[in-house]
Copies of this chain bind each other. A is one copy, B any other.
Amino acid sequence: MNDLIELVNKKLDEFMPICYPQKIFKAMKYTVTLPGKRLRPILCLECCRVFGGKIEDAIPTACAIEMLHAQTLIHDDLPCMDNDDYRRGKLTNHMVFGEANAVLAGDALLSFAPQIILKNSKSLGSEKLVKIMEEYCQAAGAYGVIAGQVVDIESEKLYSNFDDDEQTPEILNFIHEHKTADLFKLALRTGAIIADADEKQLQAVTDFAQNLGIAFQIADDILDEVSTFEQMGKTLGKDKNSGKLTYVSLYGLDKSKEDLKKYIDTCRNILVENNIKSEIFEEILDKTAKSVNK
């Protein structure tokens, strides 16, 4: 896995030269190249390999998805959204480059990312490029991560004002599905498309992404409750303090840990049932399951 992280870091650096006006390119690169697990690009590359594709063919798409992920972080951290000063132990984008440049850096990444795919993946052919663009736009927009973010921002209000408690789990599920699972889906589905996977295989990785995404978000909610700033590199306990709707606030810590395990088991079953053999997917599942026991 470390080899893949190094490869992704090297390529992200190569794909992002500092052009004029330098301030915007520096702001874009700052958040994209913050140290990170590179989980989404690795899911994309490994999914391509698993279905018999060449990982070189998936590198531009994998890196573009990391850029899109960085875009969501830059805008989520803005004063008008989550108002976070730190991310991965470093100052957030607007703290370094100012709010206007942070808005524009996020905007720019939304077009820069697909441009990286279009420029560097010509060998895939037009038909596949169009499919990848369709997946990208669906995940990046109002049907994807943004739907999750909009409902997430409102969730505090929704949670405290909601008369019909039966709908609350649905709302939480909607947030997790779109904020987290949608980018995992994008990574895995584009990796599969590049490798010419068939419809059944595409459906399998879509289900895998859905369950992995929710598992990740449950783990994140648990960590927000139990970790320290030093462990996480960002301000914690904010969810709790703001009375925000999270998995832990809705179901409690014990059931959250149980359900995390269930979602991880579902992921494992999907791999077995579809004969998908990947040490890297196994490692990601193990780490996610264990992350809350630190």
Contacts and interface: CB of A to CB of B under 8 A. Distances in A.
A112 B145 CA distance: 12
Contacts of A137: 111-112, 114-115, 118
Interface in A9-45: 19-21, 23-25, 28
A130 to B, nearest CB: 5
A216 to B, nearest CB: 22
Interface string A108-132: 1011101100110000011101100
Interface in A116-154: 118-119, 125-127, 129-130, 133-134, 136-138, 140-144, 146-147, 149-151, 153-154
A136 B150 contact: no
B107 A107 contact: yes
A231 to B, nearest CB: 28
A134 B150 contact: no
Contacts of A129: 126, 130, 133
Contacts of A108: 141-142, 146
Contact of A115 (B19, B81, B141): B141
A103 interface: yes
Given A107-B110, A130-B118, A142-B28, A21 B81 contact: no
Contacts of A147: 20-21, 24
A99 interface: yes
A179 to B, nearest CB: 12
Interface residues of A, number: 50
Contacts of A153: 100-101
Interface in A226-249: none
9 contacts: A23-B150, A24-B142, A110-B140, A111-B136, A111-B141, A112-B142, A114-B114, A129-B133, A130-B130
Given A111-B146, A118-B134, 17 more contacts: A23-B150, A25-B142, A71-B107, A75-B103, A80-B98, A80-B99, A101-B153, A104-B150, A107-B141, A110-B110, A110-B140, A110-B141, A111-B142, A114-B133, A118-B137, A125-B126, A126-B130
Sorted from nearest, which 8 A-B pairs have the closest CB atoms? A111-B141, A126-B126, A80-B99, A108-B142, A115-B137, A111-B140, A110-B110, A111-B137
